Amino acid sequence: MSVLLVEKRDGYRVLTLNRPERLNAFNVPLHEALQAAIDEAGADESCRALLITGAGRGFCSGQDLHDRLMKPGEAVAAGQSLLKHYNPLVRKLRALPFPVVAAVNGVAAGAGCNFALACDIVLAARSATFVEAFARIGLIPDVGGTWFLPRLVGLARARGMALLAEPISAEQAESWGLIWKAVDDGQLISEAEKMCEHFAKAPTFALGLAKRALDASMSNDLEAQLQLEYELQKLAGSSADYAEGVRAFIEKRKAVFSGAKVKA
């Protein structure tokens, strides 16, 4: 059975982490399959959103710790897997020119938690939990966690999550602004599918630019951000989707967006 299930739908793809017996912990084959699937989705002009979820009762429990068991005196280079697998994964997700929806169906722990937070929209089943489990095993939050957490929930809550490593419920996560929404367990996948179906018909080029602008805002000052908005809006403003959006508004009909890119 494949460690990653890839399903092509009309206008989007569904990636299901498929190591349910380990709550979908990351191992090398899963990393490789995931990165290949993200690259393929990014290269496919007809793909306008990605839905990522987990098989079984967990979303992702982070690094597979069975691969990390050390003999006395031995050191498994944690840094290497960041350089080779986790950091490229976060970069690839952030660079995709369309929205990535994480449907967190169960526990998201360690790298699994920060992997979810690296997606654009996080929907979570009400029974799901988010845990920065790193402190339990003597590591620091990685996979972008120390960058995403304070920006999403502020320093006080980021410190609490990182230092206490206690599970945060989906409802708490929603009320803190860590995620977009907690939904009833039975509704999670249909809600995530509905969102991706919406994105599959959205002005994708503009959404990709909005994603870029928001990411850059995390380190830009206002002046730099105004300049960036100017540059990106010039691009969005020369897209066929913008012309269609305005025309559809005036004609009082639903816009039909192609999602097509405009060259910079």
Binding mask 121-160 for ligand LHQ (x = CB under 6 A): ----------x-xx-xx-x--x------------------
From the list 150, 252, 259, the residue with the least C-alpha distance to 209 is: 259
List Cα–Cα distances, 110 to 49, 100, 131, 138, 169, in angstroms. Answer: 25, 20, 6, 12, 15
Min dist. Cβ of residue 122 to ligand LHQ (A): 17
Sheet holding 13-17, edge to edge: 4-8, 13-17, 50-54, 100-104, 121-125, 181-183
Closer to ligand LHQ by CB, 86 or 98: give it: 86
Q: Does 82 bind ligand LHQ (CB under 6 A)?
A: yes
Kindly tell me the burial class for residue 156, based on how many C-beta atoms sit within 10 Å of its own C-beta (0-12, 13-18, 19 or more): exposed
Closer to ligand LHQ by CB, 82 or 248: give it: 82
Tell me the backbone φ, ψ of residue 158, rounded to 5 degrees. -60, -45
Q: Does 164 bind ligand LHQ (CB under 6 A)?
A: no
How many chain residues touch ligand LHQ (CB under 6 A)?
A: 25
3-state secondary structure of 10: coil
Measure the CA–CA gap between 131 and 109, rounded to whole angstroms.
5
Kindly tell me the burial class for residue 263, based on how many C-beta atoms sit within 10 Å of its own C-beta (0-12, 13-18, 19 or more): exposed
List Cα–Cα distances, 73 to 76, 79, 140, in angstroms. Answer: 10, 17, 21
CB 216 within 8 A of CB 225: yes
CB 23 within 8 A of CB 61: yes
Min dist. Cβ of residue 135 to ligand LHQ (A): 9
Binding mask 234-253 for ligand LHQ (x = CB under 6 A): --------------------
Q: What residues numbered 48-77 form the site for ligand LHQ, per CB under 6 A?
A: 61-66, 68
Binding mask 89-128 for ligand LHQ (x = CB under 6 A): ------------------x-xxx-----------------
Min dist. Cβ of residue 252 to ligand LHQ (A): 51
Min dist. Cβ of residue 116 to ligand LHQ (A): 12
Q: What residues numbered 8-37 form the site for ligand LHQ, per CB under 6 A?
A: 22-23, 25
Binding site for ligand LHQ (CB under 6 A): 22-23, 25, 61-66, 68, 78, 81-82, 86, 107, 109-111, 131, 133-134, 136-137, 139, 142
